[in-house]
């Protein structure tokens, strides 16, 4: 491993209400990170689909913003530049997505629009937790493997067991050769918890929701006072990644 790689950090950040919410703070964070390109790598990690994330980058990020990687679709898609990573996509090819979709449709639930689907993810409108439990039992009876994420507001996502925001994060770290101990996750909500648990260190921004603040691993999480991108900046300074 080169000296350059030994010094690298990988920052993997949620987007909504973590980096977004304060444009001035985001501009400041990005300007600072630009001075450390190659040593401080940045990956975005969003539950939203790729097209939706791209629209947010165009409208809410600096014009020259260019992350090193973008993870979308609840950790089922990874892009480096404009190209999806074939090595990651191949890991999900054996997941029996169509069988899972067919089973859920037989129970009368509807698929969300195509933009919310991916090879490793199937998203449905399911009315309540009881219906989710019935589906999970049926999938288990058929031997169909899934990770289930239910918002409690009728949105049910099934993803491949090999996928997830945490697993995709670590795949990106291995791709760039980032050494152990130098992966930092940043987020604001409960669906970032898996990233926090998998990362070496974590930053909960000042506006983080209760479910993340209460469940984040306290021994390695920095709880920022500042909100949004300013909180990410504060955490990176506290960890010594960026200068104070």
Residues 17 and 79 grouped into a single domain: yes
What is the number of domains present in the chain? 2
**148: containing domain:** 97-159
Query: pTM for the complete prediction?
Result: 0.92
User: The CATH number of the domain where 126 resides is what?
Assistant: 3.90.1070.10
CATH code for position 60: 3.40.50.1000
Task: Please indicate, yes or no, whether residues 176 and 228 belong to a single structural domain of this protein.
Answer: yes
The residue ranges of the chain whose pLDDT is under 70 are: 1-5, 152
Reduced to 3 states (helix: H, G, I; strand: E, B; else coil), residue 27 is helix
Residue 244 lies in a domain: no
Q: Indicate if 20 and 66 belong to the same structural domain.
A: yes
Q: Do the domain assignments include residue 179?
A: yes
**Over the stretch 131-152, which tens digit does the pLDDT of each residue have?**
999 999 999 999 999 999 987 6
Cα–Cα distance measured from residue 48 to residue 43, given in angstroms and rounded to the nearest whole number: 14
Instruction: Quickly list DSSP for 72-110.
Output: ETTTTEEEETTEE-HHHHHHTTTS-HHHHHHHHHHTT-E
| Whole-number pLDDT of residue 93 | 93
Q: What is the pLDDT of residue 1?
A: 38
């Amino acid at each position: 491993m080169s000296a350059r790689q030994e010094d690298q950090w990988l920052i993997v950040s949620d987007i909504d209400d973590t980096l977004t919410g304060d444009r001035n703070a985001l501009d400041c964070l990005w300007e600072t990170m630009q001075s450390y390109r190659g040593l401080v790598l940045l990956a975005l990690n969003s539950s939203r689909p790729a097209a939706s994330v791209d629209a947010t980058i165009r409208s809410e990020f600096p014009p020259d913003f260019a992350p090193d990687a973008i993870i979308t679709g609840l950790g089922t898609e990874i892009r480096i530049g404009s190209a999806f990573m074939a090595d990651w996509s191949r890991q999900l090819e054996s997941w029996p997505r169509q069988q899972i979709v067919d089973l859920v449709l037989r129970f009368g639930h509807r698929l969300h629009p195509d933009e919310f689907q991916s090879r490793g993810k199937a998203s449905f409108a399911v009315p309540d937790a009881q219906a989710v439990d019935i589906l999970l039992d049926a999938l288990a009876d058929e031997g169909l493997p899934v990770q289930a994420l239910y918002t409690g507001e009728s949105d049910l996502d099934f993803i491949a067991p090999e996928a997830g925001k945490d697993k995709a994060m670590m795949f990106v770290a291995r791709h760039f050769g980032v050494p152990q101990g130098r992966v930092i996750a940043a987020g604001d909500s409960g669906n970032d918890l898996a990233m926090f648990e998998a990362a070496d260190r974590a930053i909960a921004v000042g506006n983080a929701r209760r479910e993340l603040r209460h469940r984040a691993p306290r021994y390695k999480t920095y709880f920022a006072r500042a909100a949004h991108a300013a909180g990410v900046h504060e955490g990176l300074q506290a960890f010594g990644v960026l200068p104070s």
